[in-house]
Amino acid sequence: METLHSLSRRDFLRNASLGAGALAFGNILSSFTLKPDKKLGIALVGLGSYSTGQLAPALQHTKNCYLAGIVTGHPAKAEAWKKQYNIPDKNIYNYETYDEIKNNPDIDIVYVVLPVSMHKEYTIRGAQAGKHMICEKPMALNAKECEDMIAACKKANRLLSIGYRLHFEPHNMEIMRLGQKQIYGKVTSIDTGNGFTYRGDPNAWRLKKAMAGGGGLMDMGIYSIQGTRYTLGQEPIAVKAMQEKKRPDFFKDVDETVFWELEFPGGFTAHGKSSYNNDWSYLHVEAQHGKFGLEPAFGYGELDGYTAKGPMNIPNIIQQAAQMDDFAECVRQNKQSRVPGEEGLKDMRVVDAIYRSLDSGKKEKII
């Protein structure tokens, strides 16, 4: 990721991060015809470490799309990417010329990979420029911003997808199947955590609430929330949360470690946690007739899963390639993504409620 200034996505995200269920959606798009064999062009907005280390390399392995353009505030980065990926000058933009992307037929999809505070603006502007949009998660600073983004994309008749790569990752997809289909009976317990020990720049944008929206909860906790939701295939109705700070001088403006209990219809309660001061990546599920889960659960690299019958023994894939290929096919077929803007909105409603609970010290409804 990057901002207008020198901002990069931390190296840790190369090794730690997730997906929820497909949603029914009416066809709101005007006709969008493409040649069946045409690869769709993707432009990456923000060339920090996630674009550099994950998305651009993944686009070298995609079947339905390719790296067509970039948007960056750094001329040196633009020149380096131009040479490395053979990007023509006409497909290179900065933040001042971003809106001109509407005149470029090479670019079909714009992928926003910026700090969270910039997601809303650049997603809406991209849709208004006539491009289909992918936005990294967390989708926005709060649920209201998510609603605005969804409305803008619908008004522009453009598809919007959120970067939930683990919806296309086979281990996590198996967890969805086991939980939602109740393969081992009704789920009786869920415990999930995601986090890492932050040792980076204390002045980084991720530690500034105005830019990141929060700390470990926004960055890492989104995966724990997703893991619970997609395991059950249900939406929580309330949450009770608490937090701790063992390094308050470092995490002055954002949360460090947060624990929560998600309440679902019928009284089921799931436990989750997030952290910038603990190395977690797991999803453990107990059901009436056996256990299943993942550990590590949410990373970019190799994941490992187990069931009541033993190890999953599922091959790992390039998650981002599968994610982007799927969206390109959705655009080609004029159909909604399995991870649309509404999916990001549901997560942010939970996050908003968790922050309200931290403030009030009480259980809060998810609205």
Q: CA nearest 5: which of 269, 203, 230?
A: 203
pLDDT band at 37 (very low <50, low <70, confident <90, very high): low
Sign of the torsion formed by the C-alpha atoms of 77, 79, 83 and 86: positive
Residue corresponding to tokens 């062009």: 41
Question: Which amino acid is present at 251?
Answer: F
Q: In this structure, what DSSP letter does residue 115 have? A: -
> Would you state the pLDDT for residue 28?
37
C-alpha to C-alpha distance for 56 and 252, rounded to whole angstroms: 34
The more confidently predicted of residues 217 and 5 is: 217
- Mode of pairing for the β-strands spanning 364-365 and 277-287: unpaired
In terms of Cβ atoms closer than 10 Å to its own Cβ (0-12, 13-18, 19+), residue 25 is middle
Fold that domain 11-166+321-339 belongs to in CATH? Rossmann fold (3.40.50)
Q: What are phi and psi of 66, to 5 degrees?
A: -150, 165
With beta carbons less than 8 A apart as the criterion, state whether 284 and 190 touch: yes
Q: Which CATH superfamily is domain 167-317+349-365 in?
A: Dihydrodipicolinate Reductase; domain 2 (3.30.360.10)
Q: CA nearest 45: which of 162, 152, 134?
A: 134
With beta carbons less than 8 A apart as the criterion, state whether 258 and 358 touch: yes
Q: What is the pTM of this model?
A: 0.91
**Residue-level length of the chain:** 367
- Structural tokens at position 260: 């929560």
Does position 14 have pLDDT exceeding 80, yes or no? no
Q: What is the pLDDT of residues 165-194, one digit of tens each?
A: 999 999 999 999 999 999 999 999 999 999
Q: In this structure, what DSSP letter does residue 185 have? A: B
Q: What is the pLDDT of residues 186-216, one digit of tens each?
A: 999 999 999 999 999 999 999 999 999 999 9
Of all residues in the chain, the percent with pLDDT exceeding 90 is 90
C-alpha to C-alpha distance for 239 and 260, rounded to whole angstroms: 7
Residues labelled catalytic: 137, 223
CATH 3.40.50.720 domain residues, the chain: 11-166+321-339
With beta carbons less than 8 A apart as the criterion, state whether 110 and 133 touch: yes
C-alpha to C-alpha distance for 335 and 203, rounded to whole angstroms: 42
